[in-house]
Chain A
Amino acid sequence: MNPDVVFVISGSGDMEHQIMHQVGAMGLSRHVIFAGALWDEERDRMYQSADLVVMPSVSEPFGLVPLESLQHGTASLITKQSGVAEVMTHVLKVDFWDVEEMANKIVAALKYERMNGQLVSEGKREIIKLDWQVAAGKLKRLYEDMTNKFGYKGS
């Protein structure tokens, strides 16, 4: 569909060698780069130069990747099985098992530039609301409500 696309796989893990073998077997070596674990400036540059960041987590308590990605001006595709999917609107979402839909959304993100642009501009505004202070405040209020409810007094 798009012969110029390059997939960069960053990070390391127990399936790394398996994926490398699979890429070789499918003849996709020209299109896949294994960057290994990336930190600091290298990681930032990868976010900035990407057209789309994909976080295909099978299970993820929260997932800071889409937030970091937005800070560097790049849209992301995440799975619905990640915690961050519950608090963000301006990301592309997919079930981790739905590889066809994942491919559909990746191609769409590359094809429809206006959508990609909006995901970034609106996403950046959205993440401003995601603040540890806000989360801590909510938790504090919850504790206060519960202690009041059960009649406990004190600090």
Chain B
Amino acid sequence: MLSVCPYFHVHQPYRVKRFRVFDIGNDTEYFNDASDTDLNNRRIAEKVAEKSYRPMTGVLQELLDNHPDFKFALSFSGTMLEQFEGYTPDVLEAFQRLVATGRVEILADTYHHSLAFFYSRPEFERQVAQHARKIKELFDYTPRVFRNTELSYRNDLAKWCDDNGYKGIMAEGWDKYLGWRSPNFVYKPVGTSNIKVLLKNYKLSDDIAFRFGNRGWESWPLSAETYTHWIHSHHGDGQTVNLFMDFETFGEHQWEDTGIFDFMKTMPYLLTARGDTTFLTPSETIDAYEAVGDFDVPDILTWADTDRDLTAWIGNDIQRDAIQATYDLERDVMQSGDPQLIETWRKLQTSDHFYYMCTKWFNDGDVHAYFSPYESPYDAYIAFMNALSDLQLRVSYATQARKHRAAEVVTPGILERIAAWFKRYVSAVRTALF
């Protein structure tokens, strides 16, 4: 038997507008760009809804309604869910209908699609809890399998998931850590007791996610028959074929005219035409198979580009400066106790902000790889750091205000009044008891 485990990740950040140095101290809205550029979050949400979310949820619903075995998993960032609620509520409803069929698993994640795990464990835990509450609220669902931002993975993250009751975690099936072994088996993260890790088959996943519409690719145009044949060829040398990719692959990264929707409509039927092939969710995959060995990843592994690490987010000086400055604010932000400031700080933790500051492709001459709503990585950094500076100012005002209010409460006479009240209380208790 061979099972196929499809998983799609749905995410949009709150992009920071062109926040100028003169806006510091004068504008508390960082995410409300209203221009025609790609900094306009509403505009992007509506555009991607039209190209991807609406059509693909339609395709998936049709498959769930008509194909007896089709199943898959989804993950949503909290920032995406909020944007659905604010800009395209019909898309949220479409996803809710998919989940209501009972054949769609939702994975746990950080609410703000952040790299908090690697900078602040307490903040990471708060964001995971916040995410769980949102998923419960919108889908009445409790995730059992975890995935971290950009499918980032490391041994200590797996250990945290194991200690916190998750039965599974997702990771990239990268050769560096697999060696000669295949990603088509279930493994146990090293140093854990119960949890299992599911590894993305990057060849087959990226064939759809990256290569599908590329006319220069030797396998273009990819037919559903050919792809099904590639998957079936793993009968006998694998337990599961894990196909993990961004949801926006369907319609946004791979446009409709590549034939991607027709491909996805047909492929599941061809896969299960061979009787010993089926679809399983991540949880079902974990329950179905024993782990065949350990998976040991001491460094950060992600599903990103050829390096499969975090260099696209923290590979240069300005990125490291920006992300460190963000987490350096943690103590002051949390101490302010102001929910709005805390939430704004969290929106600034979304990994995309740092991604836009990446310069690695420019060095390789591959300018086309720079997908960003900013004209340059430096524009991204300046807007971000100005917004962070404004937040820093607001946090220090809020903290000062809190200190003044506390000082007002503790007036000279208050301690005497408290002592007098306490004496009366003790005396009343004594009278009642004796």
Seen from chain A, the residues whose Cβ lies within 8 Å of a Cβ on chain B are 1, 89-90, 92-93, 100-101, 103-105, 107-108, 111-112, 114-115, 117-119, 121-122, 125
Contact = CB atoms under 8 A, between A and B. Distances in A.
Contact of B382 (A89, A115, A117): A115
A115 B21 contact: no
Contacts, number: 57
B376 interface: yes
Interface stretch (B95-103, B239-247, B314-322): B314-322
A100 B22 contact: yes
The residue in A92, A93, A122 that gathers the most chain B C-beta atoms within 10 A of its C-beta is: A122
Given A101-B20, A107-B21, A108-B21, A114 B321 contact: yes
B382 A118 contact: no
A54 to B, nearest CB: 15
Contacts of A89: 359, 362, 376-377
A114 B359 contact: no
Contact of B318 (A92, A118, A125): A118
B210 interface: no
A104 B379 CA distance: 10
A100 B382 CA distance: 14
Given A89-B359, A89-B362, A117-B317, A111 B378 contact: no
B381 interface: yes
A90 B321 contact: no
Contacts of B20: 100-101, 104
B254 interface: no
A44 B229 CA distance: 66
A100 B389 CA distance: 18
A114 B317 contact: yes
B218 interface: no
Q: Is the interface of A mostly helix, strand, loop or mixed?
A: helix
A93 B21 contact: no
A114 to B, nearest CB: 4
Contacts of A111: 21, 385, 389
A125 to B, nearest CB: 8
Contacts of B363: 122, 125
Interface string B306-332: 000000000011101100000000000
Given A118-B359, A122-B316, 19 more contacts: A89-B362, A89-B376, A90-B378, A93-B375, A103-B21, A104-B21, A104-B22, A105-B382, A108-B382, A108-B386, A112-B321, A112-B381, A112-B382, A114-B321, A115-B318, A115-B382, A118-B316, A122-B363, A125-B363
A122 B359 contact: yes
4 smallest A-B Cβ distances: which pairs? A114-B321, A104-B20, A118-B317, A89-B362
A73 to B, nearest CB: 15
Given A107-B21, A118-B317, A90 B359 contact: yes
Given A89-B362, A90-B359, A114 B318 contact: yes
B385 A112 contact: yes
Nearest to B20: A104
B112 to A, nearest CB: 23
Interface in B376-419: 376-378, 381-382, 385-386, 389
11 contacts: A89-B362, A89-B376, A90-B362, A103-B22, A104-B382, A111-B389, A112-B381, A112-B382, A114-B318, A114-B321, A125-B363
Contacts of B377: 89
Residue among A1, A100, A108 with max Cβ neighbours from chain B (10 Å): A108
A115 B375 contact: no
A108 B384 CA distance: 11
Nearest to A89: B362
A118 B362 CA distance: 14
A92 B321 CA distance: 18
Contacts of A117: 317
Contact of B21 (A1, A92, A114, A119): A1
A119 B357 CA distance: 12
A19 B21 CA distance: 25
